[in-house]
């Protein structure tokens, strides 16, 4: 697993207080990890801070799963 | 009841009459207060008056968006702990009839009285939501509800503050963070002391409780909304005006 994926996972575990084993790439923040809309905003802000990237609102709306977040950040970091 | 031991409270406009009383009241109930204002001398005096313990100050000009954005972090640095309570009290007036009101008069009042409280709420909420606790009290004015000739800018900003607070209250409610408004009526402060006696008497005659307000009348309402005991009150406006406007 990439360094970015590891860090994303860690942030999700920390913010949502969920078991690490539940944070699979396919896991949906809202449907599987019990996040509400405020949690997803807080997560996006935590990602922005941790990876020093800006995630605009329209991109943030599309980040529904752990994999979505990893893919988006990896793409930003590669660019 | 209404003890604030161990809480950090940031009060803006703390060198003014109402802000000073709010700071003193929260401090007396055990809070560590951080005073913010534009006049360093006045803030230093206030620190001294509060005995120097559990009190810090930050000089900030809230008409500058960057200073407003940075104030929460600065206050937390001074206090050495997160801000649990934010009281947005700072404000200014540029009164004149609308026909004579310039864009600058409008913009400056909206900026300091509405935009800067929003910036402070935004910055404070970030930590409060994460900690699942926090109190925000925004100081509006009775004129936000009733309007007042000569105060189109000020009353718009204060009415805006009420709408903003209700929205923030809905956003933050699931985390146990409350956002409320205290709307003072006519309060005796150095700012209002200069009014002619005849005008003060006229104002007084419109107040069922028969006197003008004291800063402490406002501070008591703020204290209630900052307390643990007010944990089921959010998005509300507490009017403290001697009965002048029953809304």
pLDDT digits (tens, 9 = 90+) for B25-82: 999 999 999 999 999 999 999 999 999 999 999 999 999 999 999 999 999 999 999 9
pLDDT at A11: 96
d(CA A56, CA B158): 31
Q: Taking CB atoms and an 8 Å limit, are A38 and B129 in contact across chains?
A: yes
Chain A: residue whose CA lies nearest to B175 = A38
Contact status, residue B126 vs residue A45, Cβ threshold 8 Å: yes
pLDDT score for B85: 98
**Which residues of B are known to be catalytic?**
154
Contacts of B130 (CB under 8 A, 6+ apart): A42
CB contact under 8 A, B130 and A42: yes
ipTM above 0.90, yes or no: no
Q: Does B127 touch chain A if contact means CB atoms closer than 8 Å? A: no
B200: its two tokens: 């003060």
Contacts of B169 in chain A (CB under 8 A): none
Annotated binding site of B: 38, 89, 154-158, 187
Taking the CA of residue B115 and the nearest CA in chain A, the distance in Å comes to: 21
A38 contacts chain B (CB < 8 A):
yes
What is the CATH class of A1-76?
Answer: mainly alpha
Shortest CA gap A75–chain B (Å): 27
Chain A CB contacts of B167 below 8 Å: none
- Contact check, Cβ <8 Å, A38/B130: no
Separation CA A45–CA A50 (nearest Å): 9
Q: Where exactly are the structural domains of chain A?
A: 1-76
Residue B142: pLDDT above 70?
yes
Nearest Cα of chain B lies from the Cα of A26 at a distance, in angstroms, of 25
- Is the Cβ of B132 closer than 8 Å to some Cβ of chain A? no
Query: Does residue A78 carry a pLDDT above 90?
Result: no
Q: Could you report the per-residue pLDDT of B125-139, keeping only the tens digit for each?
A: 999 999 999 999 999
Q: How near does any CA of chain A get to the CA of B46, in Å?
A: 37
pLDDT of amino acid B198: 87
Measure the CA–CA gap between B126 and B197, rounded to whole angstroms: 46
Residues counted in chain A: 79
- Mean pLDDT for chain B overall: 96
- pLDDT of A63 higher than 80: yes
Query: Alpha helices, DSSP H only, in B132-214?
Result: 143-146, 152-172, 190-193, 197-205
Residue B194 predicted with pLDDT over 80:
no
pTM: 0.94
Q: How far apart are CA B194 and CA B97, in angstroms?
A: 20
Q: Tell me the domains of chain B and their CATH numbers.
A: 8-188+215-238 (3.40.50.720)
CB contact under 8 A, A38 and B126: no
Encode burial over B207-237: b for 16+ CB neighbours within 10 A, e otherwise.
beeeebbebebbbbbbbbbbbeebeeebbbb
Report the share of chain A in percent with pLDDT over 70. 99
CB contact under 8 A, B174 and A45: no
Question: For the CA atoms of chain A, what is the radius of gyration?
Answer: 11
Q: How many CA atoms lie within 13 A of A39 on its CB side?
A: 19
User: In terms of C-beta density within 10 A (0-12 exposed, 13-18 middle, 19 or more buried), how is residue A17 classed?
Assistant: exposed
Residue B25 sits at φ, ψ, to 5 deg, of: -70, -45
Q: What pLDDT digit, counting tens, does each position of B70-116 carry?
A: 999 999 999 999 999 999 999 999 999 999 999 999 999 999 999 99
B130 and A45 within 8 Å at the Cβ level: the answer is: no
Average of pLDDT values for B163-168? 98
Between helix B116-131 and helix B152-172 the angle, nearest 10°, is: 10
Report which of B54, B56, B57 is spatially closest to residue B28, judged by C-alpha positions: B54
Which residue is closest to A36 within chain B, CA to CA?
Answer: B174
Rounded distance between C-alpha atoms, residue B48 and residue B27, angstroms: 13
pLDDT given at position B239 = 98
Residues of A annotated catalytic, as ranges: 36
Q: Quote the CA–CA distance of B73 and B16 in Å, as a whole number.
A: 22
What are the start-end ranges of the E strands in B85-172? 85-88, 134-139
B171 touches chain A (CB under 8 A): yes
Q: Return the structure tokens found at A12.
A: 């999700």
Judged against a pLDDT cut of 70, whether residue A1 lies above it is answered with no
């Amino acid at each position: 697993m990439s360094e970015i994926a590891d860090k994303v996972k860690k942030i999700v575990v920390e913010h949502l207080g969920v078991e690490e084993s539940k944070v699979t790439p396919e896991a949906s923040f809202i449907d599987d990890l019990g996040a509400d809309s405020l949690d997803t905003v807080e997560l996006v802000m935590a990602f922005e801070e941790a990876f020093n990237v800006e995630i605009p609102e329209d991109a943030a709306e599309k980040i529904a799963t752990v994999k979505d977040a990893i893919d988006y950040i990896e793409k930003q970091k590669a660019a | 009841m209404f003890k604030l031991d161990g809480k950090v409270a940031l009060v803006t406009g703390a060198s003014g009459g109402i802000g000073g009383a709010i700071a003193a009241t929260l401090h007396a109930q055990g809070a560590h207060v951080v005073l913010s204002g534009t006049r360093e001398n006045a803030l230093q005096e206030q620190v001294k008056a509060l005995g120097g313990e559990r009190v810090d100050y930050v000089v900030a000009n809230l008409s500058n968006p960057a200073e407003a954005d940075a104030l929460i972090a600065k206050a937390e640095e001074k206090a050495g702990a997160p801000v649990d309570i934010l009281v947005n009290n700072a404000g200014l007036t540029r009164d004149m009839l609308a026909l004579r009101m310039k864009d600058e008069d409008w913009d400056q009042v909206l900026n300091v009285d509405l935009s800067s409280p929003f910036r402070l709420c935004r910055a404070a909420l970030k930590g409060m939501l994460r900690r699942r606790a926090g109190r925000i009290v925004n100081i509006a004015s009775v004129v936000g509800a009733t309007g007042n000739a000569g105060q189109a800018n000020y009353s718009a900003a204060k009415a805006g503050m009420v709408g903003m607070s209700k929205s923030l209250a809905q956003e933050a409610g699931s985390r146990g963070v409350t956002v409320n408004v205290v709307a003072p009526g006519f309060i005796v402060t150095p700012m209002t002391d200069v009014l002619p006696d005849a005008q003060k008497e006229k104002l007084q005659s419109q107040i069922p409780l028969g006197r003008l307000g004291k800063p402490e009348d406002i501070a008591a309402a703020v204290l209630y909304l900052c307390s643990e005991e007010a944990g089921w009150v959010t998005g509300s406006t507490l009017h403290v005006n001697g009965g002048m406007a029953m809304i």
